[in-house]
Chains A and B, each alone.
Chain A
Amino acid sequence: MMLEIKDLFISYGAIRAVKGISFTVEKGEIITLIGANGAGKTTTLKTISGLLRPESGSIKFKGQEISNTAPHKIVELGICQVPEGRGIFTNLTVQENLTLATYTRRKQKEELKKDFERVYHIFPRLFERRRQPAATLSGGEQQMLAVGRSLMTDGELLLLDEPSMGLAPVLVDEIFRVIKEINTMGTTILLVEQNAYKALEIANRAYVLETGHVAVSGFAADLKDDEIVKKAYLGG
């Protein structure tokens, strides 16, 4: 079991955003959390990566409890996150953005070189623009940089928060193709998406969140044909 979440409650002050979520992620899977705005998807991801503290409940990564660990320590354990809104350092160059992500493994010179090649191979556009400040990239390129950067941290589990947000349809297809490719290369993926249809296409299993609860869960292929899910999230 790579990630095991049990009875997670999370609050922002007086507002309880997540009310007892439980789910699991197995090694090698693509798991997606789908649901409407305010369902608690982003909150859950932020809590896994340590940016928020849960009120109660447990988060176990490879058997180790991480619900009270600092975010930078969680990265060292092997969880990396592409945050909501990408979190690109716009005042740094593309290359610097990628380099910064290698902080925890700055001593592995040889492997790093290979990883830079790998990221630039997946995203040739980033190679062309490696010396430009990230602020000059287009939205799609910034999303690629965010994904590329999280690959450089070399985590075993990649948390993706709305990777398709604000992208043109062509780029959405491209991003999902890349996510699938990253998964095939061995990274486990936990994907939060509003574009439920696309997410269900590439995921193994899915959890549908509704105002802080898991409403439905199951294999992605089954959920895609489920009448209730179809009506609520897939537009009929």
Chain B
Amino acid sequence: MEVFLSQFIFGIQRGTIYALIALGYTMVYGVVRLINFAYGEVFMLGALFSFFIIQLMPLPPVLNVIVALLVPMALCAILGLAMDTVAYKPLRAKPRLAALITAIGVSFFLSNLVSYIGPDSVRTVSVLLFATAGLVILMTLSQKLFNFPKVPKSTGINWLKRSIMVGSLCLLGAVAWIAKPALALLRWKGSSFTAFPVDKLFEVVKYPIFGSVYITNVQIVIIIVAVVLMVALSFLVNRTMLGMAMRASKNNKEAVSLMGINVNSVIAFTFIIGTALAGAAGVLSAITYPRITAFMGIQPGLKAFIAAVLGGIGSIEGAMVGGIIMGLAEQFAIGLAPSSFGAAHIDFTPLAEGISFAILIVVLLLRPQGIFGEPPQDKV
């Protein structure tokens, strides 16, 4: 019983993190029918941004927890907007497969870029960014002067857009150039493990519940933050004009634009909210498992996707419930495996990794639309 209860607490904690990421998957899928596979990487970047902030800004307790959570969320939201604008918006009218493959590309791009940005390689990244900016300038000039490479007449050369692009590339390049000493100071190690400085946020306190079962202040904070975020999201989706527009876009985007609403803005907001939540999940996860790497997002990203499918992709309640179920299932698989009862010579931890995929197979076989999903139907 005691084992069960303590595993239950760990499971809920694990589950809320999956649920937060799954919300992004499900919301974007609901509106644009796209699986944005990059949420795992946004999750990783949330943890990474939080790491940078804690190291660079020593703040008094409580305030530091809030800043270390909210600033990464905001940065991830900006990243979400950029992702939509650069990668997905141009493909909106194209077949869905194109956007899906792009999503996988964005995911690989982000994790590999981050793995590359250690103090040793950051200057190379900077040079690459400058070189790209130069290439854009060259191409623009050659188009203007020699009409090569050819562009369709209607698209033409948009000077404002190109200037913004070149400007931001140069800015990023400059940031990367300056970042070397900062990264060295931070001891950020790119693809290898970097310890997340939890001790600067919390002094871990254990509160006994009964017997040997305890809950820590970290766990309490994680669960409270997750619940607050989910309640805020429900309010936004069910009670505001923006939320109404999101739900309507799920149903009929053309009609939404006939209500005088810019559908592209609604989609952009959906990305912003989803990535902010995934960023928050990254911070919360880094507090519990305090090591960060460029590839830490792959597993949680995949499992959150499974959680979204389990709950019924497109359904917000589904993502929440699916996430919690996944967290509990994994935790029980580790905690209640026979090794806990004496069969110590067998390691059952890999079981936890496998159980999520087993769940996916069972769901797809028995109830492909998920717990809260509507049965698939062909629209006329």
Binding site for B on A (CB under 8 A): 49-51, 70-72, 75-76, 80-81, 83, 87-92, 96, 99-101, 103-104, 106, 149, 153
Contacts and interface: CB of A to CB of B under 8 A. Distances in A.
Contact of A89 (B248, B257, B262, B263): B248
The secondary structure that dominates the B interface is helix
Given A71-B257, A72-B262, A99 B251 contact: no
Contacts of A101: 259-260
Interface in B231-249: 241, 244-245, 247-248
Nearest to B250: A91
B253 to A, nearest CB: 10
A81 B252 CA distance: 14
A97 B317 CA distance: 22
A101 B263 CA distance: 13
Interface string B254-287: 1111111111000000000000000000000000
B248 to A, nearest CB: 4
B241 A72 contact: no
Q: Which of B254, B256, B259, B263 has the most CB of A within 10 A?
A: B259
B248 A100 contact: yes
A135 to B, nearest CB: 9
Contact of A104 (B244, B260, B263): B260
Contact of A103 (B247, B251, B260): B260
Contact of A75 (B245, B247, B250, B260): B260
A153 B259 contact: yes
Contact of B255 (A76, A89, A91, A103): A89
Contacts of A149: 259
Contacts of B262: 70, 72
B241 A106 contact: yes
Nearest to A82: B258
Contacts of A100: 241, 244-245, 248, 256, 259, 261
B260 A91 contact: no
B261 A89 contact: no
B237 to A, nearest CB: 12
A150 B260 CA distance: 10
A87 B203 CA distance: 56
B261 A72 contact: yes
Given A90-B251, A92-B251, A75 B244 contact: no
A92 B244 contact: yes
B252 A89 contact: yes
Contacts of B259: 72, 75, 100-101, 103-104, 149, 153
B282 to A, nearest CB: 31
B88 to A, nearest CB: 18
A103 B257 contact: no
Given A89-B252, A92-B251, A71 B244 contact: no
Contacts of B258: 49, 51, 71, 75, 80-81, 83, 87
Contacts of B260: 72, 75-76, 101, 103-104, 153
A70 to B, nearest CB: 7
Contacts of B252: 87-89
A65 to B, nearest CB: 17
A75 B261 CA distance: 9
Query: Which 3 A-B pairs have CB atoms at the shortest separation, nearest pair first?
Result: A87-B255, A75-B260, A104-B260
B215 to A, nearest CB: 39
11 contacts: A51-B254, A70-B257, A83-B254, A83-B255, A87-B258, A92-B248, A99-B241, A100-B256, A103-B241, A103-B259, A103-B261
Contacts of B256: 89, 100
A75 B191 CA distance: 51
A49 to B, nearest CB: 6
A99 B256 CA distance: 12
A71 B252 CA distance: 14
Given A89-B252, A100-B244, A104-B260, 16 more contacts: A49-B258, A70-B257, A71-B257, A72-B257, A72-B263, A83-B254, A87-B254, A89-B255, A91-B248, A92-B244, A99-B244, A100-B241, A100-B245, A100-B256, A103-B245, A153-B260
Nearest to A79: B258
A91 B257 contact: no
Contacts of A91: 247-248, 250-251
